Structure 1
Amino acid sequence: MAAGAPSEYQLKAAFLYNFALFTEWPEHVGDTLNLCVYGSDPFGADLLKLEERSVGTRRLSVHLTPTLNELSNCELVFISRSAIGQLPQILGTVDGSPVLTVADSPSAMRRGVAINMITQQNRIAFEANLTAARAQGLNLSSRLLRLAEEVEQ
């Protein structure tokens, strides 16, 4: 990696922020968007830099979420690779809530995660499951969807 080039998870943290920006949240979601990491935290300090950043009229709050029960307090959940084996339980916990699920694990989009980050030719890309996002009451911007490698509808 070139000196000064951002790390994989620095880039993925930036992607998470942009996913939040280009998601339409229901009005009843309050002034704060809770961004939660479920499983071991691959971001380190890079994600904490997003604390208090503006997302439209809302602010981001970053949480490392140790239990399934706490996921119901999140609007954006990053499911780390260490926790992907618990995907059915995670999706079941947030089902019906305005929660954008994001992962970076093979086939996660096909398994019901709204956005899955992938690495292609040394660059970060993503695929979107519009059906999964809409089932949570969320709408992904057409500007975001145009950038996706694949969109499942």
Structure 2
Amino acid sequence: MKRYTAVTSAKVLLLCFICSLSWSQEVATEARVKAAFLYKFCNYIRWPVTVFPDAQSPLKIAVINDDVMAHELQHVVYDRIVAGRNVEVYSFSSVSELEGMHVIYVAGEKFMQVHQVLTLLLEKPVLTVTEITNGKRVGMINFVIENDRVRFDIEKHYAEKSGLKLGAQLLSVARKVSTSD
């Protein structure tokens, strides 16, 4: 009986380990897809020239509350250029550190934090990307999972109020584009 319990316990632990690895891989895979999207978004957006101190200034992307996403994004943008600019990735846990960023990705659905970021950046030329599923105010681009695939919706009016120009190619591949509040 003890041997059976030990073997069964070992099997249960092994199964838990395999399940956690599988879950980890799913999280990493979803983060990898979202990171690739974030990088691609940057290629189809024009910021006002005044947001960059000079022609050599990098494009800065901030990730809030998602170290896995920050790591994946760092991997995706390594040695890549957007509109002649190097890309830098920053990981933050606080909204107070966002000065000078060009893209901000807010992970999860912590309403207060998302609301803080969106309020802070209202009408500023910063691309905001969220992943809200409950219908509350979202960023200019909002990730959604549809049929087990990462898709995105665009709130074009938020981008326009902020002075960002969204390319037609980006708009054409969005799941949904909203043009008014």
Q: Shared fold (TM-score greater than 0.5)?
A: yes
How many residues get paired? 150
In the TM superposition, residue 52 of structure 1 has moved relative to its aligned partner by 4.7
Secondary structure of the residue that 2:59 maps to in structure 1? strand
> Do the aligned partners of residues 44 and 139 (structure 1) sit closer, same or farther apart at CA in structure 2, a change above 3 Å counting?
closer
Determine which structure has more spread, i.e. the larger CA radius of gyration. 2
What is the RMSD of the two structures over their aligned residues, measured on CA atoms? 2.2
* Distance in 2, Cα, partners of 1:66 & 1:79: 10
Deviations 1:97-136 (A, max 9, x none): 210000122146x614100111111211110000111111
* Distance in 1, Cα, partners of 2:80 & 2:151: 23
* Distance in 2, Cα, partners of 1:84 & 1:71: 18
Structure 1 counterpart of 2:177, which letter?
Answer: V
Secondary structure of the residue that 2:49 maps to in structure 1? coil
Which protein has the bigger strand share?
Answer: 1
* Distance in 2, Cα, partners of 1:12 & 1:111: 20
Which protein has the bigger helix share?
Answer: 2
Matching of residue 134 in structure 1 with residue 160 in structure 2: yes
Aligned to 1:55: 82
Q: Select the residue among 118, 121, 125 that pairs with 1:98.
A: 125
Q: Give me the identity figure in percent.
A: 28
Structure 2: which 5+ residue stretches go unaligned? Answer: 1-21
Structure 1: which 5+ residue stretches go unaligned? Answer: none
Q: Select the residue among 65, 68, 91 that pairs with 2:92.
A: 65
Structure 1 counterpart of 2:132, which letter?
Answer: S
Q: Select the residue among 39, 51, 65 that pairs with 1:29.
A: 51
Give the TM-score of the pair, scaled to structure 2: 0.74
Structure 1 counterpart of 2:168, which letter?
Answer: S
Deviations 1:39-85 (A, max 9, x none): 23342531111245211111211001232222222110000105443
Q: Which has the higher contact order (CA 8 A, sep 6+)?
A: 1
Secondary structure of the residue that 2:123 maps to in structure 1? coil
